[in-house]
Structure 1
Amino acid sequence: MKKIRCDWKSNNEKLLDYHDNEWAKITHDDRLIFEILILETMQAGLSWLTILLKRENYRKALDNFDYEKMANYDLKKENELMQNDGIIRNKLKIESFSKNAKSFIEVRNEFKSFDKYIWSFVDNKQIVNKVDKMSDINSKTNLSILISKDLKKRGFKFLGPVTVYSFLQATGIINDHLNECFAKYL
C-alpha cells in the first residue's frame, strides 16, 4: 500500500526522508534547534532541497553547528567559508553565523535553553493545523511575525516572518502535514 504524503512535488529520496522523519517532528534539543535555525536562514530565497543536499557540508564547515564555536567565528573563518563550494556562499548570511550564535547563547542564558524560549510562544503545545491541501499552508502568521520581531530585537539576522514560520514547522512547533498524510500524527 502506497504511503500518502504531503504533496511536495518531489520524488527526491533525501527530501522524502526529511518529510517522513524530521519535518514537523517535535524537537527539544538545542543543538538541533540551532542547526535548523541556521539552515533556515540559509534557505531564504532558495529551495529547501538545495539546503538538504548541502546539509552534511554545512555540518563539516560549521563545526557540527556548535554554537559556542560559531559565536567565535572571525573574519578569517568567514573568508574560509566564502571559499567553501560545498555551502551557499552568501557573504551577508555567512557574516550572520557568529551574531546568530551569540544571540542564541544569550537566549539560552536568559531562559535556561533556547527550547524553553521558543516553546513559550505556544504555551509548550504543538500547533496542529488542519491542512486539506498544500495551498492551505500559510507562509507566515501572526505568531511568526511576533517571534521574528522578538528574535530581531535580540540581535538575530535573516529571520523574517516567512523564515521563522518555516523554522517553526521544521522544529515541530507547527505541524502542517496534510490531514491525510501518514506522518501527521507520528
Structure 2
Amino acid sequence: MTDRCTWCGTDPLYVAYHDTEWGVPERDPRALWEKLVLDGFQAGLSWITILRKRDGFREEFDGFDPERVARWDAARIDRALQNPGIVRHRGKIEATVKGARLFLEIEGDQGFAPWLWSFVGGQPIQNRFASMAEVPAATPESTAMSKALKKRGFTFCGPVITYAFMQATGMVNDHMTGCPRHAELSAASTVG
C-alpha cells in the first residue's frame, strides 16, 4: 500500500497492524477491554513494544477473559511479574485485575461497548487530517472518556491514552486522508 500513514514505518508487524487492524471499528466488549489494557501498558513505552509482546500478554492474561482475570489474587499477580513476555510493571498488572472487575460491572450494568462508544455518539468520528502534525494528542471526547473511566476506578487511562485507544478501535478515523485506509474505513462506517 503506497501512501499509508507514516507512523507505522516499515516494520512488517507495524505495517500489518496499520493495514488490517488500526482504525477498524471494534464493538466486541472483550476486544475493547483488551485494547484499553494494552494502551494502558503502553504508557511510557512505544506501541511497537506492546505489539511485539501482544501474544505474550494474551497468554498471560488468560486471553483477556475478564471473568478469569478478575479472580486473580496476589500470588497470580506475582506470577505475571515473572513473565518476560509482557511488560512487568506491578501497577499496570494490578490495574488490569481491577479493570477486569470494573469491566464486569459495566458490562452487566449497561454494556461495556455501548458505554465506550457513547463518547463518540455511537459512530466513528471521520477526521480529515492530511499530515500527522494535525492529529491532536487528546480531544474533548477522549478527555470525557478518561474522566468517566477514572470515576469508575480505572487507572492508566489519561486523555492521551484514551485518544490512542479511540484511534486503534475505530472510534475515530485518524488515517491520513492520503492513506487508502482512510477512504476504506470512512466508506465502511456509512454502510448499513
- Could you tell me the TM-score, scaled by structure 1's length? 0.96
How far apart, in 2, do the equivalents of 1:72 and 1:135 lie? Answer: 43
For 2:24, the equivalent position in structure 1 comes to 25
Q: How many residues align?
A: 184
Aligned equivalent of 1:56? 55
Mapped contact 2:8–2:18 kept (Cα < 8 A) = no
- The yes-or-no answer on 1:41 pairing with 2:40 is yes
Cα distance in 2 between the residues matched to 1:29 and 1:169: 16
Give the match's secondary structure for 2:183.
Answer: coil
Map 1:126-145 to 2 at 5 A: 126-145=124-143
Distance 1:121 1:8 in 2: 25
Rounded Cα–Cα distance in structure 2 between residues aligned with 1:124 and 1:94 = 30
Partner of 2:144: 146
Q: Residue type matched to 2:89 in 1?
A: N
Q: Secondary structure at the match of 1:184?
A: helix
User: 1:121 maps to which residue?
Assistant: 119
Shift of 1:174: 0.7
Q: Match of 2:2? A: 3
* Corresponding position of 1:182: 180
In 2, the alpha carbon distance for the partners of 1:104 and 1:9 equals 30
| Aligned residue number for residue 100 of structure 2 | 101
Q: For residue 81 of structure 2, what is the aligned residue in structure 1?
A: 82
Please tell me the root mean square deviation across aligned C-alpha atoms, in Å: 1.0
Structure 1 residue 9 displacement after superposition: 5.5
Query: For 1:91 and 1:30, how far apart are their aligned partners in 2?
Result: 25
Alignment correspondent of 2:188: none
Distance 1:115 1:94 in 2: 22
What is the CA-CA distance between 1:96 and the residue it aligns to? 0.8
Distance 2:172 2:37 in 1: 18
% same residue: 41
> Unpaired segments of 5 or more residues in structure 1?
none
| Helix, strand or coil at the partner of 1:8 | helix
The structural deviation recorded for 1:185 is: 2.7
> 1:150, 1:107 → 2: CA distance?
12
Higher helix fraction: Structure 1 or Structure 2? 2
Amino acid at match of 1:184: H
User: What does residue 167 of structure 2 align with?
Assistant: 169
**What SS is found at the alignment partner of 1:183?**
helix
Q: 1:142-185 deviations in whole A, cap 9, x for unaligned?
A: 11111101000001111010100001111100110000101113
SS at structure 1 position matched to 2:182: coil
Distance 1:141 1:55 in 2: 27
What CA distance in whole angstroms lies between the structure 2 residues aligned with 1:159 and 1:103? Answer: 13
